[in-house]
Amino acid sequence: MFILIDIFNLAEQIGVYFIIKHDDLDEDTQQRFFFILFGVGGASVFKPLLVHPVLMVLFSISIEIGELVSYLKLLPNTTSLLVVIILFFCFEVIFHLISLIGIWDNDDQNRCRNFAKGCCSLPARILSYGLLFETQILFLFLDSRSSFRDTFYEVLMILGTFFGLSAIDKAAKRCCACFQDKDEEENTLYSAWEVFLSLLSAIESPIILIAAVVYASQALQNKDQLKTYDFVIYIIILIFYGSLLLTLALTLLCTLCLCAGAALKFLKDSLFPG
């Protein structure tokens, strides 16, 4: 059921985004949408502090309600937008209630340890979320004609937020491995879904980095026409994202070299034993 909730959440966010784009709403409206998006993701970071599954589901429902109210209060109430957000909200709440019925009698005896694990991983979650999305918030204030405000990159931002939350969750859990039981890792369907999301995040992250570096480089070719804010942000992008891209490329190159060396050694041992 949680997989359906994730899918409907992503579909709702993309649906609302394209409605805003199609209706050609003003720049402030588009910025408010992304602030809502980042706010919902930020609230989800605190979910592991709730040690009981029922409380987690109730907290998730509260986030859905907050998201709905934010859409209704901060975005223009066009007919198409109202239909999408109310319809998806109803489905998501129904899915949450169904999952709530399934875990109502769940009596977890390790609540203190789960709370300690949530507190331990919270700083890592907050830091990772901030590092992952702080530059994306800065993109919202760039000139509306910037390539970073095109549909392609903004959709990448939405997908990056969705995939990134799963990757942050898995990374934070590894930071507090001392609280993890060996029998706690079960090959459930949702675990496979989290692995799938992490894989998509690993695929999309280099695309975001490459696109950002290319767009910033192109924009800086006409630096005389740029506003001061835009110019500073593009320089930061080149330094920060360029460094990440270079690190990623070097890591990939080292990995390929190690794999090639291991393959050559295996062939040598197979062809010339002894």
Which of 63, 65, 67, 73 is CA-nearest to residue 29? 73
Q: Determine the pLDDT at residue 183.
A: 46
Q: Each residue of 159-170: pLDDT tens digit?
A: 888 887 777 777
83 belongs to a structural domain: yes
Mean pLDDT over 247-252 rounds to 89
Alpha-carbon distance of 239 to 232, in angstroms, equals 11
Alpha-carbon distance of 207 to 198, in angstroms, equals 15
The DSSP code sequence of 160-215 is HHHHHHHHHHHHHHHHTGGG--GGG----HHHHHHHHHHHHHHHHHHHHHHHHHHH
166 belongs to a structural domain: yes
- Does this model's pTM top 0.85? My answer is no
Number of domains observed in the structure of the chain: 1
119 belongs to a structural domain: yes
Residue listed under structure tokens 């109202």: 82
252 belongs to a structural domain: no
For 82, the domain range is 2-203
Alpha-carbon Rg of the chain, whole angstroms? 22
111 belongs to a structural domain: yes
Which has the minimum average pLDDT: 47-51, 53-57, 181-185, 225-229?
A: 181-185
219 belongs to a structural domain: no
217 belongs to a structural domain: no
208 belongs to a structural domain: no
